[in-house]
């Protein structure tokens, strides 16, 4: 099975135009966070943010700065349950790769981690980080959460950290997760949810998806 790369060119053909606009806005934001993490002022990013969200400080400090500086997660999904040796883990919206690298330590040499992200600069940064760390059981693919570049029934565990809130097609993302999970598979997710409804006028502002 082959998969095209090239970012938004791979977008499902039937997507609404405004969804594509949202994607472009979100992608522009994460392109900036990949190349210049200190430019992010609205949300916490980087190693201190990870520690505040519950990551093991020693584990974070064991990572070189390029691995943690663009961390933009909103929680600690790997803290939600076991990650077993030999498992295949999919990290959707893998960013610069921090969660994928931590998962790769847990699954060991018989296991595998696949990171998928739609922002080419994040995928490149994660791949450079992978080489920097000498990790051989992780790989990064450019792709969309709404059209995952993976086979059916191919992973034991899906993790994501701050991904679903960014997608205008949340149902499609969930359908894709269920497609790629093996029977009995698990999902460990950290995300932003709203407890009260958001006014339509707010939803319609493009900037709200990325700012």
Ligand X SMILES: C[S@@+](CC[C@H](N)C(=O)[O-])C[C@H]1O[C@@H](n2cnc3c(N)ncnc32)[C@H](O)[C@@H]1O
> Counting beta carbons within 10 angstroms of the beta carbon of residue 18, is it exposed (0 to 12), middle (13 to 18) or buried (19 or more)?
exposed
Least distance in Å: CB of 173 to ligand X? 7
Using CB under 6 A as the binding rule, whether residue 26 contacts ligand X is answered as yes
Q: Give residues 66-95 in contact with ligand X (rule: CB under 6 A).
A: 71-73, 93-95
Based on CB atoms, which residue is closest to ligand X, 94 or 137? 94
Q: What DSSP element (H or E) covers 160?
A: strand 155-161
> Counting beta carbons within 10 angstroms of the beta carbon of residue 61, is it exposed (0 to 12), middle (13 to 18) or buried (19 or more)?
exposed
* Binds ligand X (CB under 6 A): choice among 133, 145, 155, 157: 145
Q: Give residues 157-196 in contact with ligand X (rule: CB under 6 A).
A: 161-163, 166-167
Bridge-partner residues for 189, per DSSP?
160
Q: Give residues 103-122 in contact with ligand X (rule: CB under 6 A).
A: 117-119, 122
Mutual orientation of helices 17-35 and 120-133 as an angle, nearest 10°?
Answer: 40
Provide the binding-site residues for ligand X, judged by CB under 6 A.
26, 30, 71-73, 93-95, 98-99, 117-119, 122, 144-146, 161-163, 166-167
């Amino acid at each position: 099975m082959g998969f095209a790369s090239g970012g938004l060119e791979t977008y499902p053909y039937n997507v609404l135009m405004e969804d594509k606009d949202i994607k472009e806005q979100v992608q522009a934001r994460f392109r900036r966070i990949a190349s210049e993490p200190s430019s992010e002022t609205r949300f916490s990013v980087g190693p201190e943010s990870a520690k505040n969200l519950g990551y093991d400080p020693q584990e974070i400090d064991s990572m070189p700065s390029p691995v943690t500086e663009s961390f933009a997660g909103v929680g600690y999904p790997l803290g939600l349950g076991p990650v077993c040796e030999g498992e295949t883990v999919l990290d959707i919206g893998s960013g610069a790769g921090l969660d994928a690298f931590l998962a790769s330590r847990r699954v060991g040499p018989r296991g595998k981690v696949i990171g998928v992200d739609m922002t080419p600069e994040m995928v490149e940064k994660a791949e450079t980080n992978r080489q920097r760390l000498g990790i051989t059981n992780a790989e990064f693919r450019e792709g969309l959460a709404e059209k995952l570049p993976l086979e059916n029934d191919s992973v034991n565990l899906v993790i994501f950290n701050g991904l679903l809130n960014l997608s205008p097609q949340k149902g499609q993302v969930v359908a894709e997760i269920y497609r790629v999970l093996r029977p009995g598979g698990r999902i460990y997710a950290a995300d932003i949810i709203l407890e009260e409804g958001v006014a339509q006028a707010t939803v319609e502002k493009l900037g709200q998806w990325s700012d």
